[in-house]
Structure 1
Amino acid sequence: MALKADFEGKTAVVTGAGGGLGSAIVAQLAERGARIVGCDRSADALASPHIASRHVFDLLDRASIEAAIRALLDRDGVPDILISNAGWSRAETIDALTADRIEQELDLNLTGVMTFADPIVKAMAGRGAGSAVFVSSVNAIAHFGNPAYAAAKAGINAYAKAIAVELGRSGVRANVVCPGSIRTAAWDHRLANNPEILARLKRLYPLGRIVNPSEVAEAVAFLASDRASGITGAVLPVDAGVTAGYLPFIEDILGA
């Protein structure tokens, strides 16, 4: 279905705009008419021709976040759409956690995200309209490893619901997309170490595959658009069915 005018005349801020998923989100919104304000940790990550305005900051650096917000609102105005996509994890199990890693992952994936989003959604509320979509994770719904990251993403889900409830009457909607594993370059290092890992991973998913960036971007675009005007406070898994149930239990236990 052609959706070319979904975001005509609208400005969309996208964080993590240079990553695998971020690039797909940027492309979909731009193709549907949005003016893209791209945010990432380096200018090199923001080379996409779809990006009209660029802001570089680090979610681990409060001063750089606050400077970027001031510059963004001054240069680009209050956006119509905020896509909070940036995130990162390395501590994959509880054994891998240390106090420093816990602090870093919570600061990046929750505190930094909220510090950036808070003044923007409040500015949207002051104007009387706005749509925020947070990219969370299935790790916020069920445990698939990455415990500090999972805790941060569960916090993001709660934060989005707070925006939906408290700012809804000011015209602001807030929703969450929870992807499962996405086939981006982030999997390359695991595949280099173990070429069989993708096949093993796919067995866990009811659709027999993991999702691709454009599928997640499609859900983000829908929730950001006026087509979702009656939806706020929703948490939408885009996960090839992994949070619906554990397929190997059916195959290995019930089918044995």
Structure 2
Amino acid sequence: MTQSPFRLDGNTVLITGAGGGIGRSLVAVFREAGAEVVGADREAGLLDGLPIVRQVLFDQADMAATRAAISADIAAHGVYDAVVANVGFTRAEHLGMVDDAVWAAELNINLNGAYALTDPIIAAMVERGRGALVFISSVNAIAHFGNPAYSAAKAGLIAYAKAIAVERGGEGVRANVVAPGSVRTPAWDHRLAADPSLLDNVLPHYPLGRMVSPVEVAHATLFLCSDAASGITGTVLPVDAGLTAGNLRFVNEVLRGK
């Protein structure tokens, strides 16, 4: 019987930010698909209870520490078959809240750290002749929804993924991007506790009438890492309940008069 191309049996997958809301769903979905998961995060306690084969600990805001931790893990265990670069951080910001320190901090963790993470991995994948990377970016990389420094960093991930796809594709390495919209993770809990009406302002922008779940992001990521996507590289896949397809609120308020 031919194995499903969506399965990852026998594959080792590195998932960063594995202890977060999206990260934990990524670990669960990849394990269900048969992958051996290496979980990475800032602290060991964040990875408690996860079905992972080992931990790699580093703060992605520190490029040197990130590169050193990943290089050491590759030297000890070999390179991964696939990598999900999931780490990301921002606060709710607009341009009036951005200064040099905010700009530098958000680019460091969201873009510079992702480069330091994946650069040694890509070199090892090229030497082996195959590998897949998926960067978890954001709809903020495609259109502006606030968070300007974060948005610039996440847009940088798209450009970086395309560079990998073009320059390393001939050596067997694929790179793609998943761009989630608002994801209903525990990070929303404190915001909703402070303002229970917040969703009344958020959901009218989404054609599906809801936020996406972490599992939906994980399923799209699994597809791009699997052989089912073997001919796909350099692409951006929004998982955003239709947000970037168009302006539903404009249609409803201006054209329909709702």
Report the TM range for the smaller structure's normalisation: over 0.9
Equivalent pairs counted in the alignment come to: 255
Equivalent-residue separation in structure 1 for 2:46 and 2:141 (angstroms): 27
Partner-residue secondary structure (3-state), 2:22: helix
Equivalent-residue separation in structure 2 for 1:195 and 1:91 (angstroms): 17
Equivalent-residue separation in structure 1 for 2:7 and 2:127 (angstroms): 23
Q: TM-score, normalised by structure 1?
A: 0.97
Q: Which amino acid aligns with 1:6?
A: R
What residue is the counterpart of 2:109 in the other structure? Answer: 108
What residue is the counterpart of 1:136 in the other structure? Answer: 137
Equivalent-residue separation in structure 2 for 1:33 and 1:174 (angstroms): 21
What residue is the counterpart of 1:177 in the other structure? Answer: 178
Equivalent-residue separation in structure 1 for 2:232 and 2:35 (angstroms): 20
Q: Is the CA contact 2:125–2:173 (under 8 Å) kept in the aligned structure 1?
A: yes
Shift of 1:3: 6.0
Q: Indicate the larger mover: 47-56 or 170-179.
A: 47-56
Shift of 1:114: 0.6
Q: Indicate the larger mover: 138-147 or 43-52.
A: 43-52
Indicate how the Cα distance of structure 1 residues 64 and 215 shifts in structure 2: closer, same or farther if over 3 A, else same.
same
Q: Indicate the larger mover: 39-48 or 219-228.
A: 39-48
Shift of 1:60: 1.4
Equivalent-residue separation in structure 2 for 1:49 and 1:90 (angstroms): 26
Indicate how the Cα distance of structure 1 residues 188 and 3 shifts in structure 2: closer, same or farther if over 3 A, else same.
farther
Equivalent-residue separation in structure 1 for 2:22 and 2:33 (angstroms): 17
Equivalent-residue separation in structure 1 for 2:57 and 2:68 (angstroms): 10
Q: Indicate the larger mover: 4-13 or 25-34.
A: 4-13
Shift of 1:32: 1.0
Shift of 1:74: 2.2
Shift of 1:46: 1.2
Post-superposition CA distance 1:73-106 (Å, at most 9, x none): 0232110001000010015111111110100000
Shift of 1:70: 2.4
What residue is the counterpart of 1:83 in the other structure? Answer: 84
Q: Is the CA contact 2:6–2:228 (under 8 Å) kept in the aligned structure 1?
A: no
Equivalent-residue separation in structure 2 for 1:75 and 1:8 (angstroms): 21
Partner-residue secondary structure (3-state), 2:244: coil
Indicate how the Cα distance of structure 1 residues 117 and 198 shifts in structure 2: closer, same or farther if over 3 A, else same.
same
Which runs of no fewer than 5 residues in structure 1 stay unpaired? none
Equivalent-residue separation in structure 2 for 1:245 and 1:48 (angstroms): 40
What residue is the counterpart of 2:242 in the other structure? Answer: 241
Q: Is the CA contact 2:31–2:37 (under 8 Å) kept in the aligned structure 1?
A: yes
Cα RMSD (Å): 1.4
What residue is the counterpart of 1:224 in the other structure? Answer: 225
Residues 1-256 of structure 1: matches in 2 within 5 Å? 6-90=7-91, 92-256=93-257
Equivalent-residue separation in structure 2 for 1:238 and 1:192 (angstroms): 25
Equivalent-residue separation in structure 1 for 2:163 and 2:219 (angstroms): 24
Post-superposition CA distance 1:42-74 (Å, at most 9, x none): 000112341111011001122321221122102
Q: Which amino acid aligns with 2:36?
A: R
Q: TM-score, normalised by structure 2?
A: 0.96
Q: Is the CA contact 1:142–1:243 (under 8 Å) kept in the aligned structure 2?
A: yes
Shift of 1:6: 0.8
Equivalent-residue separation in structure 2 for 1:38 and 1:190 (angstroms): 28
Q: Which amino acid aligns with 1:248?
A: R
Equivalent-residue separation in structure 1 for 2:96 and 2:4 (angstroms): 46
Give aligned-pair identity as a percent. 53
